Structure 1
Amino acid sequence: MVIMTEKQIPDFVSDIVATGCDIRAVADFYVIADADLPDDVYEAVEPELMRISETYGERDHLKAQITNYLYSIGRCYPPPVVQ
């Protein structure tokens, strides 16, 4: 079984974003918004999402670190307030 490392978090996020799916921190967890895609678009990117999941493997143990990383780059909901 492949287990994702903390060092891989930026690449994981980048790979998800490259599919056209949004990934955001929400409170103390993160979501990958693949369900928000139209059916035909989802069907087109689903193989890539599966490849990403297989490449990075298990990541539940990194939930807090992934969430923190997403907050640090402004990929969160609600979005950061710019003053």
Structure 2
Amino acid sequence: MRTPSRFSPLSSVTGTVQWMLNLATRMLARMLNMPEPLVHDTGVFVFTHVAAVESRVGKTLCPVRLLRQLRSWLR
């Protein structure tokens, strides 16, 4: 009979990924000579702006919208 394990593989992977992200943030903060929270908040700020730009570009380049625009130009 096998005894149940206390740790699931998913929790160890999650812990490893979190540790690696913390390490990367700490190393980047040292390289830039900035406090870690500022590096983290700057990353979040940049991510939100990139996501906003991508959503605007996605709406602009939507195939259905482009087809409607082409049809209106051809009329």
> Under a length normalisation based on structure 1, what TM-score does the superposition of the two structures give?
0.31
- Of Structure 1 and Structure 2, which has the larger fraction of its residues in helix? 2
The structure where strand makes up a greater share of residues is 1
Relative contact order (C-alpha < 8 Å, sep 6+): which is higher? Answer: 1
Structure label with greater radius of gyration: 2
